Amino acid sequence: QVQLVESGGGSVQGGGSLRLSCAAFGHTYSTYYMGQGWFRQAPGKEREAVATINSDGSTKYADSVKGRFTISKDNAKPILYLQMNSLKPEDTAMYYCAASHGTIASMSPAGYNYWGQGTQVTVSS
């Protein structure tokens, strides 16, 4: 079992930056081999992928965040990060980290086995 805990959310003005972190607890040695991702969900909307990272470090981004967000991981700690720059009001949502038993990270929420509780990001105009 793996437990995930997000942190780093908050309120920021448009154009600002935040860095989200997701710490893994439990059988953390297994996270080295896991595909991981960041998702977000705004009120009344479905949960959507923001960025994913495979076990080999290769990444994928939603078109809406390309060039602004960067996903990375520190396998030694282990912590998953999401650096968010040039934030926009439409980025406002609850952000969740997730981990998969597979080495390839899916862009679909259905592809994940473990989820954090979420951290709120609010961007004002």
Across the chain, mean pLDDT equals 95
Residue 56: CB atoms within 10 Å? 9
Q: Which of 77 and 80 is assigned the larger pLDDT?
A: 80
Please report which confidence band the pLDDT of residue 29 belongs to, taking 50, 70 and 90 as the band edges.
low
Pairing mode, if any, of strands 119-124 and 10-13?
Answer: parallel
pLDDT recorded at residue 89: 97
What pLDDT band is residue 32 in, cutting at 50, 70 and 90? confident
* pLDDT at res. 77: 84
Mean pLDDT of 31-53: 94
Compute how many other C-beta atoms are within 10 angstroms of the C-beta atom of residue 62: 16
